[in-house]
Every structure is written in C-alpha cells, then in structure tokens.
A and B are shown apart, each in its own frame.
Chain A
Amino acid sequence: MNRILATAKTEFRIALRNRWVAIAIGLMALFALVLSAAGSAPTGGLGVDRLSVTVASLTSLSVYLVPLIALLMSFDAVAGEVERGTLPLLLTYPGARAEILFGKLLAHLAVLSLAVVVGYGIAGAVAFWADPASAAGLPALLRLTWTSILLGATFLGAGYALSSLARRPSGAAGLAMGLWLGAVVLYDLGLLAAVVADGGGRFTTEFFPIALLANPADALRLFNLAASDAAAAAAGVAGAAGSVPLWQSALSVALWPALALALATAAFRRVTP
C-alpha cells in the first residue's frame, strides 16, 4: 500500500510539472462553460430546470473529452518508461508490477477527478446563477460526475494496456488515438448506420441495446439519460435509453474499469524490459 501511495505521489508530481493537471482542468472547465452557455436558450416550454438541461449536454462532454484526456495521460505510462530506460531499474525494486500500475492510476485518476469536478462544478454554478430551480438537477450532476470518473478509469486502464503492448510512445499514441476514434466516434456511427439500415427489425430490438451496453462510453450515456428526466432532450443513439433497464447500464459502467485494469495488468506483466 505504501508503495502504491509513493508511486501515486511521484506520478502526481510529474503530472503537475508536465502541465497535465493544468491542461486537464483547463479543457474541462472551458468546454463545460461553453456548453452551459450554449444551453442558455429559454427552456420554459419543456418544464425542466436549467441544470438538468445542462447535464444532458455535459453527458456528451463526458463521452468525448474524458476518454480523450484519460488516454492522453496514460499512453506514455509504460512505453515512456521503456523509452527513457527507467523501467529495468524500477522492476528490480520490491513490489508487484500491479502496484506500479495502481500507483499511476491513482495519480492520473486524481488529476482527472479534479478536472471533472472543477468543470462540472462551474457548469453547476452557472446553472444555479441563471435558474434558482436548478436544485432539482443536482442528483443528475452528481451522477454524471462519478460515472465520468469511472469512465476515466476505464480509459486510463485501456491506455496502460496499449502502452504496454506498444512499448514505444509513438506507437502507443497511435493506438490510443485509434481506440478513442473507434470507441467513441466510429462505434456510434456504425451502430446508427446499422439501425437505419435495419429499419426497426431484429437488430434494433435485440442487438442494439447490447451493443450500447458493451461500450463503456455508450453505457455512461445510457445510464445518465435513463436515470434523469432529461431523456427528452437527447436524440440519436441515446434514444434507446428508455428500453434498457437502469441496473444493466449501471453494471456496465461499474464493471468496465475493473476489466480494463485487469487487461492493463496482464499486458504490463508481459513486458520484458
């Protein structure tokens, strides 16, 4: 445990010096502000408070930006140590390889959590300032915050796994960007195309919900939209939110970080320095 904390402390220090803390917080704060401002059109007709509407658009921010920041922070974790030549020495120290990975995870997750809390905190403050009835949307904002952190953990784990497989920072960066593009952009486009082509057939009713649950980013969207009253404000892929039981999307959101970390640990164990 002490070794994990020591690694986390050092990694956090490095993240601070590499400006990752500032970059992550800056990005989240900026986009959260922009989305809050964009959603400032009168909402009166819908009968929904201001914060609930903001949360619906912040969900997209979590789906796109959180995985991106997580992958950017993690792709270098193992490959960078290999390139710098620091890994052989580190591996001669006592402690399991999993401890090294968990230490890094703790630090990176702390940076990410800080960014999410600051960003969504700003969005919440803006909503309260514009509409005092926003208290009704507070549970939705909290839900989005902790599920976003879990999604971050999933992509941090995936980043460590790719970093271990690639062994080289340039290769790991390419794989990480490929994963981001595939998992959060192309996956949804592909599903959408399939649903349109299927025209309400078996694919749409049976496979589509499973395909959404199988993707951690879609599961986050599903869970947050299904749990809040703002489903009406969402469109596209997320329209299916109503048809999937809440416990299923919650399970997917909770299981993915464990799965990604297990993969990362297995990949890191196979690295020969």
Chain B
Amino acid sequence: MTSTLNISDLTKTFTGVKALDAVSLTVAPGSRVALLGHNGAGKSTMMKIILGLLPFDAGTVTVCGAAPGSAEARRQVAYLPENAAFHPALTGEEQIGHYLALRGESPKTARALLERVGLHDAARRRIGTYSKGMRQRVGLAQALIGKPKLLVLDEPTSGLDPVSRRDFYALLDGLAAEGAAVLLSSHALTEVEARTDQIVILSNGRMAASGTLSELRRAAALPVTMHVTARNGYGSEIADALPGAIRVGADLHLSCGQDEKLDILACVTGLGDKVADIEMMPPSLEDIYSHFSRRDGQ
C-alpha cells in the first residue's frame, strides 16, 4: 500500500466502445511511468479516471490512499491535460497566480514558477498571444504548484521542440528524485526515450506490455540485424559460411533471433581477416513499439 497510484482491473465502456479493458497498474513514489499507445488507445480516458473526472465501470482505483477525485486526492495530484487551454484574456502570470491561490499558495510566486519552465519573458503577455508550446509550458508550470505527490501528464511533450523536451525530462528527473510519482502519456516510444522507469503500452484499451525498456526489448524478441563487410574478393566465401545472408554490394545483410546472435558472431569471428567490418543493429524503439501496439486488422 506504499504506491502512490494503484489501479486494478480497471474497465470503462463508452456506449459500446471498450476504452479500457481490465487494466492494472501501480506507480511507486519517485518513479516515472510512461503510458504509450496509438490515438484512441485509452490513455486520456485512464488519466481522467485517475483524476476523478470520469466515472468507471469496474475495478478499483486508489490515488494517494484515497478515492479518485476526492478532496484528499485532489490536494496531492497535479494534472496537465492533453491540450492545455487557458483563458485567452489573462496573462500567464495572472493565470498561474489564480491556480496558486486555488491551492492555497501565494500568487506572488507565479513569476518564479514561469521562470522554471522558461516562460519569464512572456509572463505579462496575454495567453491569447501564446504559441502551443508556450501554452504547454503554462500547463506544466501549474502542474508544479505545491509539490504534488502524483503528476498526471497527458502528452506533455507534444508541441515542444527537442531542446525544450530535454529540459522537460530534466525537470521530471528532479521531481522524481524528490519523491513525486509521475505518470505521463505519449504516442511514440522514441519520445519518452530512456527517461522513464517503466513503460506501459496500451492497445485498444488492453494492456499490451509493461516493463522497463530492456524488459520490453527481451519480451518482443525481435530479430537483430547484422551488416558484414567482406574484404576484397572474399564476398562469396563469406556468403557460403552465412546461410540466409543477402548480398548488398560488398556487404552482407542478415537478421537473426536474439538466441542465435552469439553463434553467428562466433562464426563470423572464425572467418578471420576475410571480414573487414561487422555492425550489429538491435531492434529500434519504433520496431519494439509497433510490435506491441497493433490495432485490429494490422
């Protein structure tokens, strides 16, 4: 019962569409969990249930030891909605000041918060003039108010440029180090990179996979690709030694299962200086992701 967020067998149906089907998940203090899935996989639905914005049909959800959406839970949970929106007539500083007051904090610290997300220059401008990335930063700033125990961030890096994305993950590292639990969603594995402790892949409302990146890599058991470059003239000799290899110019391309990897490597080493170079390519993040995240009929 020490985990910040506890979900078991969560099921939610929207008039015939099963948005979530018996999903279970726990998030411990200080850990960063990425929720991945295609559009319509059920990520936002799950987050709204955690926040108490949507009712659910079956299963149990405990947030900081309380019911989702209860006063107790709301005090400790911060949220960044999918498309963070604010009143266009307010300035960034006024909007954050308002949120600070709602959490019982001094509105005077708004400026410092905006500086933390790199938005100090525009703090006194109306949000109506902001770009999508700037609005996203305002959303991020409000999620940092009052040291939340759990941050629920729905596609937090959408609309951010690569440098800002890096800053964002650095910010998350700091929060997690202070003991906050983070649940964030994304539709691409490449976006969350290696900056999360656990990855959960949703597909059509079902949990397709869950684990660390290396666990997912092992579970997917996708073939490894090797490129062997032959020394002048030895091409066909090497091709005979490596059945299944395809010749591409001076190179030989072959793919093998994770378990055959070492045998093939030994075989290539046995060829001695007939081999000029060898390159091994593990399955890419995109490959692993699309292995788990398949829509019906794909």
Contact = CB atoms under 8 A, between A and B. Distances in A.
Interface of A: 2-3, 6-7, 9-10, 13-14, 17-18, 84-86, 88-89, 91-95, 272-273
B85 A86 contact: yes
Contacts of A10: 87, 90, 94, 98
B1 interface: no
B79 A92 contact: yes
Contacts of B99: 93
A121 B234 CA distance: 103
Given A86-B86, A91-B53, A92-B78, 12 more contacts: A2-B104, A6-B98, A6-B102, A14-B90, A17-B89, A85-B85, A88-B79, A92-B77, A93-B103, A94-B104, A272-B53, A273-B48
A92 B89 contact: no
Contacts, number: 68
A267 B102 CA distance: 22
Contacts of B107: 6
Interface string B233-267: 00000000000000000000000000000000000
B263 to A, nearest CB: 55
B12 interface: no
Interface in B78-99: 78-79, 81, 83-87, 89-90, 94, 98-99
Nearest to B54: A272
Nearest to B139: A89
Interface string B138-178: 01001000000000000000000000000000000000000
B281 interface: no
Nearest to B126: A17
B79 A84 contact: no
A94 to B, nearest CB: 5
B51 interface: yes
B22 interface: no
Nearest to B85: A85
Nearest to B146: A94
Nearest to B95: A10
10 interchain residue pairs of minimum CB distance = A6-B101, A85-B85, A17-B89, A92-B79, A93-B102, A10-B98, A92-B51, A94-B74, A94-B75, A84-B85
A10 B100 CA distance: 12
Contacts of A94: 71, 74-75, 102-104
Contact of A85 (B79, B81, B89, B94): B81
A13 B74 CA distance: 26
A93 B74 contact: yes
10 contacts: A3-B101, A10-B87, A10-B94, A17-B89, A86-B86, A89-B85, A92-B53, A93-B99, A93-B102, A94-B75
A273 B53 CA distance: 7
Contacts of B77: 92
Contacts of A2: 101, 104
A13 B102 contact: no
Contact of B81 (A9, A18, A88, A95): A88
Given A92-B79, A94-B103, A86 B87 contact: yes
Nearest to A18: B89
A13 B101 contact: no
A89 B87 contact: no
Nearest to A100: B102
